[in-house]
Each structure stands twice: as structure tokens, then as C-alpha cells.
Amino acid sequence: MDLNGARAVVLGATGGFGAEIARALAAQGAVLAVHGRDAERLQLISAEVGGHPVAGDLTQPGVPDAVMDEAAQALGGLDVVVMSAGAVAFGPVAELDEAVLRQVVDLDLIAPILVARAATRHLGKDGVIAQVSAVVANQPMAGLAAYSAAKAGLTAFDTAFRREMRRAGVRVIDARPPHMETGLAARPLAGEPPGLAQGRDPREVADELVAVIGGSAEAPDWID
Ligand SMILES: NC(=O)c1ccc[n+]([C@@H]2O[C@H](COP(=O)([O-])OP(=O)(O)OC[C@H]3O[C@@H](n4cnc5c(N)ncnc54)[C@H](OP(=O)(O)O)[C@@H]3O)[C@@H](O)[C@H]2O)c1
């Protein structure tokens, strides 16, 4: 796909990884809509990449559809969807509240499924949807059990959804990035992060993902 002039929406573009994905797409000439919840950071990233801002809490009923519809309307259609909204909760599952566990699954599994469902109404032949899962989908971690389960569920969904979309000519990308220095671990829904090794630079990781979306690079082992 030629990203120059492609109409792309990035959900979670107010986040550390999503912002780098939006920047990388804009650098390739994509026309953007950017999503987030935080009004101030949404304004900043939309001004930086010249993107149409769309706000919304993706765990609320109807919001994934509404966000996708607004983005498609603003851009006159969609060629690329990147779902990077997500959050983590740390700690043994026995110590986590029911509300937190539900929030992890709502945001990291249900919301991407609903974004994908909405994308089917907007993406045509040669369209691309990229979901941001995580390395824990393949290597589940103690202290991250619900997050690992949600991301593994998302990766399984992407594998099946890819088969469903083949006939329509839509590419489904499942990205499982390693730990990155985005500040995600400092904003958990609950708990304290374990001591983590230095993560990768999210800009480099975003560049690799956008190259795969555009078809200019082979997928590394963390992308299917
Ligand atoms: N950082 C890592 O090491 C790492 C590794 C593997 C995978 N990932 C995945 O990468 C994705 C991006 O993470 P990140 O590192 O960029 O984290 P981040 O900087 O904390 O960004 C998280 C993004 O998700 C949005 N978000 C959070 N709750 C939301 C909700 N209820 N409704 C709508 N949007 C919501 C945030 O919006 P607001 O800030 O506007 O609220 C923000 O745009 C996540 O799916 C994460 O699981 C991250």
C-alpha cells in the first residue's frame, strides 16, 4: 500500500506508542485522524500531525463505533486503522479488584474487537487494520495475568479475523511489541510495576510497524 495520501486513523494516538505511529504515518504522507481521551494531549498530537481529533472512552458502549464513524467521515473513508489504545494492571490476580480486571479485558480485548468490527464497515480492498497486542500474548507473565490473557485473546482474535477478511482483501496485522519506553508501566490501572529492563525506543518500533503496514519491509518476528 502506498501510504502517501492513505486515510489512516490511529486509536490511542495520545499514548507513547500511538503518537509515534501517528508521526511515522504522517511522515509517509498519510492523512490522519487521531484518537485519545485526554483533551490536552489529543490537541497536541492532532496539531503536530495535522490530524482530525476524535475523543472517546473505548470501554463505553457504542464509543468504538462512534469513534470509527467520525474518523471515516472526517477523512472521507479509511484505508488504514491502527488500534494502539491499551492499559496494564500489575499484581497477583488475587490482589486485584473485580472492576480493574474487567477494565483490563474491556480495554485490551473487547475494545479492539469492536474497533475491528467497525473497521469492516469502512475498509475496502487493500485496506489494513493493525492491532497492538503485546509480547505477553506469547509469553504470559505472573503479575500481568489478566493483561497477558487479554493480549493473547486479541492475538487469537486477529488470527481468526485475518481469515474472515481475506476475501474482502483487507490485511489484518497483529503486532506484539516488546517492552518499550512509553511510560505505560507508570500509568497502570492498578498495582506497582516490577523492575523492568530498559525497553526499546517506541519511535523505532513504530517505524518498523508502519513499514510493514506500508508493505516496504518484511515483518519482524513480533508482527504477523
Ligand atoms: N509500552 C510497552 O512496553 C508496550 C509493550 C507491548 C504492547 N504495548 C501496547 O501498546 C499500546 C500502547 O501503549 P503505550 O505504551 O503507548 O501506553 P500509553 O502511553 O499509556 O498509551 C495508552 C493509550 O491508550 C489510551 N487509552 C487508555 N485507556 C483508554 C480508554 N478507556 N479508552 C480509550 N483510550 C484509552 C490512552 O489515551 P489517553 O492517554 O488519552 O487517556 C493512550 O492513548 C497498548 O495496547 C499496550 O498494551 C505497550
- Give the separation between CA 38 and CA 43, rounded to whole angstroms: 9
| pLDDT average, residue stretch 188-211 | 95
Read off the amino acid at residue 208. Answer: E
Helix (H/G/I), strand (E/B), else coil: 131:
strand
pLDDT at 134: 98
- Give the separation between CA 28 and CA 3, rounded to whole angstroms: 6
Structure pTM? 0.98
Torsion of CA 49, 55, 56, 57, to 10 degrees: 60
The closest residue, in CA terms, to atom 12 on ligand 1 is 84
pLDDT at 48: 98
Digit-coded pLDDT (tens) for 138-164: 999 999 999 999 999 999 999 999 999
Testing ligand 1's pocket by substitution, the residue of 182, 203, 223 carrying the most ligand atoms inside 8 A of its CB is 182
Read off the amino acid at residue 111. Answer: A
Ligand 1 centre to CA of 132 (Å) is: 9
Domains and CATH numbers, the chain: 7-214 (3.40.50.720)
Q: What confidence tier does 127 reach under pLDDT thresholds 50, 70, 90?
A: very high
Testing ligand 1's pocket by substitution, the residue of 10, 21, 37 carrying the most ligand atoms inside 8 A of its CB is 37
- Measuring from each residue's beta carbon to the nearest atom of ligand 1, which residues come in under 6 Å? 12, 14-18, 36-38, 41, 57-59, 84-87, 107, 132, 134-135, 177, 179-180, 182-184, 187, 199
| pLDDT average, residue stretch 57-63 | 98
Number of residues that make up the chain? 224
Ligand 1 centre to CA of 15 (Å) is: 5
The closest residue, in CA terms, to atom 22 on ligand 1 is 15
Say how many C-beta atoms besides its own lie within 10 A of residue 97's C-beta. 11
Digit-coded pLDDT (tens) for 180-191: 999 999 999 999
Q: Is the pLDDT of residue 196 over 90?
A: no
Testing ligand 1's pocket by substitution, the residue of 132, 141, 148, 181 carrying the most ligand atoms inside 8 A of its CB is 132
Cβ distance 9 to 78 under 8 Å?
yes
Per cent of the chain over pLDDT 90 is 98
